[in-house]
Amino acid sequence: MRCSRCSRRAIIHLRSYRLALCEEHFTERFLKTVKRAIKDYRLLSKRDRVLVAVSGGKDSLALWDVLLELGYSAEGLYIDLGIGRENYSEISKRKAIAFAEQRNARLRVVDLREEYGATIPKLARRSTRSVCGVCGIVKRHEMNRIALEEGYTVLATGHNLDDEASVLLANLLRWNTELLARQAPRLEAWHPKLVPKVKPLCLLTERETATYAVVRGIDYVYELECPHSEGATSITMKEALNRIEERSPGTKLYFYREFLKRRSMFAPPEERGEAIECEVCGFPTTSQRCAFCRLVA
């Protein structure tokens, strides 16, 4: 197959756009798409100090690479969750550190064992929540804490189009209007102790971010998935969407982008009751102690 732009050998065929692209034109288009998301959804400005949450996987490392490539001030944060099965955390941490060294970029590593004497599996055993539920609370808290303590103005995560479309489908199937209202490429900080969050890869599929990572020579964890991801609802949603996409290319992107245009119909404007500050960490919460502080107590 030949590139639709220059007739060199194509490395990817994007059926939804009826485009085949060579390495150079694919990379150019990838960067353009990220720039378009940043501009259309007002995600970042060149004055921002961006903290990129990196997991060692393709999406977060591709995101960090793109932001550096586009000239943003972007530093990384790796949270060592202590997920030991198949050495998942150890291997992904090494990939994140190696990437930072190659790009001469700063990576902050937070080790849950050192900070709180706990790991995600250990915290989950003491909780009634699922492992992923616990992990989500811990990651959100720690990402926000580091961003705030170290003066970053925005937190960027590597969520791609497949992630966003699958969450959207799951929320729609349950008509969870509260979560639908909160799903956006940029989440503003509604409290002084919160840092805004952005998802600059939201218009690019998992296949595109994986291809970008390979083309850019990024060494990411591809042979391992987090062992707790098996059977997650998001995987079922992704499979369903992939089947639809197979029959009708472009549906995933259309589904997500059209939702963003109509998102305001779900937005609960200013009805986030009075926020209390957690008595331990000071972050906004609805009870005396936030979910994170209750978990690590």
List residues near Zn ion by CB under 5 A.
Answer: 3, 5-6, 8, 22, 25, 278, 280-281, 290, 293
CA distance 156 to 67: 10
If one asks whether residue 226 binds ligand SF4 (CB under 6 A), the answer comes out as: yes
Task: Provide the minimum distance between the beta carbon of 141 and Zn ion in the complex, in angstroms, as a whole number.
Answer: 7
Task: Provide the minimum distance between the beta carbon of 116 and Zn ion in the complex, in angstroms, as a whole number.
Answer: 12
Task: Provide the minimum distance between the beta carbon of 57 and ligand SF4 in the complex, in angstroms, as a whole number.
Answer: 9
Q: Are 71 and 46 in contact (CB under 8 A)?
A: yes
Task: Provide the minimum distance between the beta carbon of 227 and ligand SF4 in the complex, in angstroms, as a whole number.
Answer: 7
If one asks whether residue 249 binds ligand SF4 (CB under 6 A), the answer comes out as: no
Residue 23 or residue 219: which is nearer to Zn ion going by CB?
23
Say what angle helices 161-173 and 233-247 make with each other, to 10 degrees: 110
Task: Provide the minimum distance between the beta carbon of 129 and ligand SF4 in the complex, in angstroms, as a whole number.
Answer: 11
Q: Are 58 and 81 in contact (CB under 8 A)?
A: no
Residue 136 or residue 249: which is nearer to ligand SF4 going by CB?
136
Q: Work out which of 136, 193, 214, 266 binds ligand SF4, going by CB under 6 A.
A: 136
If one asks whether residue 248 binds ligand SF4 (CB under 6 A), the answer comes out as: no
- Within 13 A of 123's CA, how many CA atoms are on the CB side? 28
Q: Are 209 and 62 in contact (CB under 8 A)?
A: yes
Residue 5 or residue 257: which is nearer to Zn ion going by CB?
5
Q: Work out which of 228, 241, 290, 295 binds ligand SF4, going by CB under 6 A.
A: 228
If one asks whether residue 132 binds ligand SF4 (CB under 6 A), the answer comes out as: yes
Residue 162 CB-density burial (10 A; 0-12 exposed, 13-18 middle, 19+ buried): buried
Residue bearing tokens 């060579």: 22
Residue 38 or residue 83: which is nearer to ligand SF4 going by CB?
83
Residue 109 or residue 132: which is nearer to ligand SF4 going by CB?
132
If one asks whether residue 135 binds ligand SF4 (CB under 6 A), the answer comes out as: yes
Interacting stretch for ligand SF4, rule CB under 6 A, among 37-45, 128-136, 267-275, 287-295?
128-136
x-marked contacts with ligand SF4 along 163-202 as a string, rule CB under 6 A = ----------------------------------------
> Beta strands 49-54 and 154-156: pairing type?
parallel
CA distance 35 to 22: 20
Sign of the CA dihedral with 97 first, then 101, 103, and 107 last: positive
Which amino acid, one-letter code, is at 293?
C
Residue 229 or residue 288: which is nearer to ligand SF4 going by CB?
229
Task: Provide the minimum distance between the beta carbon of 95 and Zn ion in the complex, in angstroms, as a whole number.
Answer: 29
If one asks whether residue 102 binds ligand SF4 (CB under 6 A), the answer comes out as: no
Residue 34 or residue 226: which is nearer to ligand SF4 going by CB?
226
Task: Return the one option of ligand SF4, Zn ion, none that residue 228 interacts with (CB less than 5 to 8 A, by type).
Answer: ligand SF4
Residue ranges that bind ligand SF4, judged by CB under 6 A? 120, 131-132, 135-136, 226, 228-229
